[in-house]
Structure 1
């Protein structure tokens, strides 16, 4: 219980900050709740897709010939052990396939679902008038996604809870998403809307891929630490830029 509570404060703090930025033009109460629910729905759907993708990937690795042997418990254990051992051998080809798999099942899927769920609420509620409105809607959905994800990951581990709380990277992805989405609306150029998905998805993929490499081989510790450092810098920059945009009214442009 303590570990779950430790994972909450930073996300809640970000949500409060977002609400304060909207204090002179606040979200309707139920709209804000719907954005929070949208984040939870995006997390749930991404979990289902990840599980299905993992099963499909495992079946591909087993292959049609060995699949017939999976009905025997002893053979199944042997096959799964061989797959597990083979996965530890890192080759350029496997790294490429792993990156593509991470992009599809994690980076793109999660960012796409957050984008779609946020857009659904934004369109249904009709509360987005400015570039900043859109960015903050994406941010609420992303922080909600992170909040529930952190609560799930952190259950039973205080160290993990603290680490997750101090790395609110879904918020960072949302700032990129909202910025490029609004830029596309202002310029009337769909290319920027594509960037609103691709840029956060790629950054997300690079971060998660560094974690997956570390899980396979401790020698990738410095790569993972480097990626964490990059993400922390991007997060600080995102917070500073958002604060500046809010203070200067840079994104108070009708879209």
Structure 2
């Protein structure tokens, strides 16, 4: 029990719901190496007594840390500090697909399809892709995983004359477009941060209200035609977006 006695008074050091403050306190404890990889946590009852909170609060905090991979439960043994997850870096200077990024890192990419099909375009799709109201747009919505861990939600829209068969897209959209001789050559990306909705948090296996990195990309053919608009929401605890800049002469 002495190993977490330093958590006492955590309520005054963090903001938010009580369980979230306890979660943040555990994260700070782990980052400061007061708890290290492989260390076992005391029982929920002991943590409840030390921190002077209910066992429900303790359980919610631990559940959130398990969902994020900071802690791991072993049946019959207890809860332990997990090995740290490697953060993924996405270079913004390269217009590559998620599958290509994971392959480059030696990781296995996979997807859970949430929707794919042909639809009438919405106003944003018409404006960005230069479509008329009578056109069709191919929409691809999926959860992207790296080595089985959910890391991003992706919503892509393309004109139907570019992607007439969205149901035939397998793992990599860009590989499919390359076979159709319609792979984009450049892209413009806009980045912002926002809180995840309840459904987004459920799919990404993080607590509701966590921050996500939102990237809106518009990709172009060599002719200059915009053929893809994609909105991707990344887990901010696993993903870093990196850019390289050329520094000119003074």
**Short-chain TM bin:** under 0.3
Choose between structure 1 and 2: higher strand proportion. 2
Choose between structure 1 and 2: higher helix proportion. 1
Query: Higher Cα Rg: structure 1 or 2?
Result: 2
TM-score (ref. length: structure 2): 0.22
